Amino acid sequence: MPQSKPKVVITRKLPDAIETRMAELFDVTFNLDDAPMSQTALAEAVKGADVLVPTVTDRIDAGVISQAGPDMRLIANFGNGVDHIDLASARQRGITVTNTPGVLTGDTADMTLALILAVPRRLTEGERLLRSGEWHGWSPTGMCGHRIWGKRLGIIGMGRIGQAVARRARAFGMSIHYHNRKRVPESVEAELEATYWESLDQMVARMDVISVNCPHTPATYHLLSARRLKLMKPTAYIINTSRGEVIDENALARMLEAEELAGAGLDVFEHEPAVNPRLLKLDNVVLLPHMGSATIEARIDMGEKVLINIKTFVDGHTPPDRVLEDLI
């Protein structure tokens, strides 16, 4: 890394406080219009950069990484998930990758619980009814949904966010179940009163609500396939605040249309920013624009982690949030 200020390219608009500090510490190229950069623009950017700061909207594939100049040694991702970065190609080029874990856990868990509440209780349906002018007052059978107290919640991915969801759901009287690549420690299971399912098939068939909280990797692509979705009870709900690619979205839309599932709450989509038009037509689906971690506090915390990772790396030390390919 050169002795002068490192050249840092930021692909999207970040909070003002973070960009100001970046400008003080580094030689920064900002994205002033905040539009996602094309693959051509990303490839051009890495030719002269020492550090790239991408987001989930950027596809840092082998083609982009192959264009990196000799001083490009760090990809400091603004976000937790790194499925949009070709980690193997980065490793082959000797480029370190970092992310921002931990700081968005609570906010994403809050949004997950909000969807768990919103879908069974038909909150957005009720809001649309009221705004339409078609609501004619209270009735004993009007807008009846389902309670979540006493229902079984199946969490797919019991990491930081999955555990935070479990803690919140327990406070609402839900029974906690989970499937994870590795079983969590007994102390965590005891705290959450959580039941572990080694078989995902067996778990999804028994749950009232499924919450997707695992990362998108080659192993989790369409983890909830058409076959597996068919195992769910027709009275069950599915919530996804993780990555859209984990669910076969076309199969999900078909089942929701056929009322083979009771409803869904989706904050992420398989082909973002495109949303399956069939989902847009359904009343039993709550759709959000990937805003699970969208709090001012989380965005600033994420930016501060990026700053620390860059500064630590530039100073010749291992950054605290280095992503290890074999752990993804």
Q: Active-site positions?
A: 243, 272, 290
Q: Which amino acid is at 78?
A: F
SS (H, E, C) 197-238: CCCHHHHHCCCCEEEECCCCCCCCCCCECHHHHCCCCCCCEE
How far apart CA 8 and CA 285 sit, in angstroms, is 41
Six token digits for residue 169? 């759901």
Strand blocks (E) in the chain: 7-10, 27-29, 51-53, 74-76, 96-98, 152-156, 175-179, 195-196, 209-212, 237-240, 263-266, 285-287
Q: Answer for the pair 163, 184: CB distance below 8 angstroms, yes or no.
A: yes
Q: Cα–Cα–Cα angle for 146, 277, 242, nearest 5°?
A: 60
DSSP letter at 3 equals S
How far apart CA 286 and CA 309 sit, in angstroms, is 36
User: Coil, helix or strand for 52?
Assistant: strand
